[in-house]
Chains A and B, each alone.
Chain A
């Protein structure tokens, strides 16, 4: 039971990171109907920018951790958002009225571009950082087994919850959110009602990238390392999470993220660590066969 509780905590933390990335997939799919395969690499870029801005702040002699974290968070969100905007602008927008596969192929290409760019700019080696947030709480202790909740886990989960709350509010209550939903449901009608569709699509990429940057930073804090290849597997897992939750559904992306995080962690804990990716991707296949609309996805037919 203690072992299970510990895995539950670990799974939820990992799931938060997947969920943050999954939102970017599902939002973009909802509004332009494509899978943005470069999104995992945007997450990787976010991790690198977090690392770089962290090192710069420390070299300036800043030592107060909460301030460092806040600045790193804002800087990585801002710069990664710029990457997301640029990718859409140069790789997807020119292809918007092309055949359906074109932007998707372009996205795969963009994924390689970002990966190789990071490899050239930052080197191929894994970049480790010493733990930035240390300490934690012992929740339970018996028979020599300890259930621990570390401070970094608390930071990851709390940051995720806060950002998701802001994001949910933005989509549900603000004009930008309404415009995004309008474009998702009927782009032509949105344009007739004065919505600048191009700008709204750009904003979708910007917001998705900003959330991926948060995930990248959380990954850096939690695992203490980044490398140019980390976006690939994390991206596909987050994509799996988005499909599991129901592609196009925002709560679905979050739920899917948590479930994939839990499944992966539990599988590693009770079966084998080597096959944890197999477990996650088996879920993708099973969902696609038996539940193509996902857990919270909407049925195809809408009464009109």
Chain B
């Protein structure tokens, strides 16, 4: 484990108004890793994802991407560094076609025509449904299709780091499995580095190389996916009573 981290977060603090959502978070991700971030509702997982993009801005601490401090970089320039996010609530553009939503992703990194068509092929291979729905408006897609579109749009920007916020939320188990499978494929075949936030801890930890557990804006535990799966406190807090296997 000597490789320099692709993303290194140190002592990160951030708040929404007066509520401090991150209280000094340390986390790093090495190139080619899938890292899962698990925790209860309101633990600050989505805030961490958004703070990487400067929304909200960090109050203290630092975020380094590939050795460069990006803590103060304007939000719209983060995408240019090829960090992409499929955010909480999917946030696809409801009154744009599927094709235009994907184009927004390609625009994020000023892709050339060739890069764009390569990315598009990759997205269609992972999610053939999107190809069938190309001219349909985003808002008319089903929840699962919207999630595919949100991930597809993020992939169109040819990310080096992909942030996925609850990709399985609200999806039928079969579709959720498809999406997890797609993430695994991207990681294995293209070496894509992924940070995934999940309430479905079981799925996420099986998928991930390493995991972090977040409670009330702090990282309380970290370790390899299989290690965390064995921990009794994880089992009782996030697995049993939640949905299993």
Contact = CB atoms under 8 A, between A and B. Distances in A.
B131 interface: no
A298 B140 CA distance: 14
B175 interface: no
B90 to A, nearest CB: 8
Contacts of A303: 94, 139-140
Interface stretch (B102-110, B203-211, B235-243): B102-110
Contacts of A185: 93-96
Contact of B96 (A178, A188, A195, A302): A178
Contacts of B107: 175, 178-179, 193-195
Contacts of B75: 191-192
Contacts of B89: 304
B100 to A, nearest CB: 6
Nearest to A298: B95
A302 B94 contact: yes
Nearest to A303: B139
B200 interface: no
B158 interface: no
A188 B140 contact: no
Interface string A166-201: 000000000100110110011011111111110000
A193 B103 contact: no
Contacts of A197: 76
A193 B104 contact: yes
B212 interface: no
Interface string B77-111: 11110000101010111111000100111011100
**Chain A contact residues (Cβ within 8 angstroms of B): what range?**
20 to 34
Interface in A67-85: none
B157 interface: yes
Given A189-B87, A192-B85, A194-B109, A182 B139 contact: no
Contacts of B133: none
Contacts of A302: 94-95, 139
Most buried by B among A179, A182, A189, A190: A189
A189 B93 contact: yes
Interface in A269-304: 298, 302-304
Interface in A139-190: 175, 178-179, 181-182, 185-186, 188-190
Most buried by B among A182, A185, A194, A304: A194
A198 B120 CA distance: 29
B153 interface: yes
B87 A191 contact: no
B91 A181 contact: no
B3 to A, nearest CB: 27
Contact of A193 (B94, B95, B140, B157): B157
B53 interface: yes
B59 interface: no
A105 B104 CA distance: 34
B55 interface: yes
A191 B85 CA distance: 11
Contacts of B94: 185, 302-304
B95 A181 contact: yes
Contacts of A195: 76, 104, 107
Given A181-B95, A185-B94, A185-B96, A194 B79 contact: yes
A297 to B, nearest CB: 13
A178 B139 contact: no
A94 B94 CA distance: 29
6 contacts: A178-B96, A181-B95, A185-B93, A189-B91, A189-B93, A190-B104
